Copies of this chain bind each other. A is one copy, B any other.
Amino acid sequence: MGKLDRRRREILELVASNSFMTIDSLADHFSVTPQTIRRDINEMAEEGLIARYHGGAASVSTTENTAYQDRQVLNLGSKREIAKLVAEHIPEGASLFINIGTTNEEVAHALLGHKSLKIITNNLHVAEICAANQGFEVIIAGGVVRQRDFGVIGEATIDFINQFKVDYAIIGISGVDEDGSLMDFDYREVRVARAIISNARQTFLCTDASKFGRRAMVRLGHLSEIDALFTDRHPGPVWSDVIREADVSVYTAN
């Protein structure tokens, strides 16, 4: 293999892992002139290996599920802040369940600052995020993968979860009714969530305030089964009474 092939292969790697590389930074990296890099990436762009842009090159997006990625960015700011708050309440060395939801994926990110945790999840993304930390023991629940949000559901999943008993359950939700009922759309996911709650010593509900008042079909449980609610702002006066009666600690980010 020639030096040229090796360089082009490495360019491909660099562009792939940084998503964008300037001509100049590549020229520096290989100690060649920008011209040489231009020739490389122009030819690679013709082969469709990378995408050429003015000033550099980007990886050609091979990603299948853009719909999900788009949804994931919605309300990203508040989700991040909620996640940070939750992470501050999880002690080092704890064991956790984390279920489905984009907010929970942000929680997983926020938890990466911890040294040592034991995490059991039915969310493919959470498993993948947490696996990055050497100090974590990550366990994925087996079962059918739901296409919509990469959640794992089904009877096998419930059986799997029932094998464990952990310190904290991190739960997301699709909606909260005026009477404090926690609601979701998929009864299979609800059954998994119930198994998670009943096998955890404490349950944290993580959801942005917009979910309060949102309608969903399947009843998951009630606020009184929750120990703490983490949200971006207080959900509003309608829920003040039911939250107080349910004896839920409320933590608001910001």
Interface, chain A (partner B; CB < 8 A):
9, 12-13, 16-20, 22, 51, 53-56, 58-59, 61-66, 69-70, 73-74, 76, 109, 112, 124-125, 127-134, 137-147, 150, 152, 156-157, 160, 163
10 residue pairs, one from A and one from B, having the closest CB atoms? A142-B142, A54-B55, A64-B132, A20-B58, A138-B145, A19-B19, A142-B160, A13-B73, A17-B69, A131-B145
Query: A19 touches which one: B9, B58, B150 (CB < 8 A)?
Result: B58
State the Cβ distance, A4 to closest chain B Cβ, in Å: 15
Interface residues of A, dominant DSSP? mixed
How far is A50 from B141 in the complex, measured between Cα atoms in Å? Answer: 34
Query: A140 touches which one: B18, B20, B54, B143 (CB < 8 A)?
Result: B143
Query: Is the CB–CB distance between B142 and A76 below 8 Å?
Result: no
Query: Is the CB–CB distance between A140 and B152 below 8 Å?
Result: yes
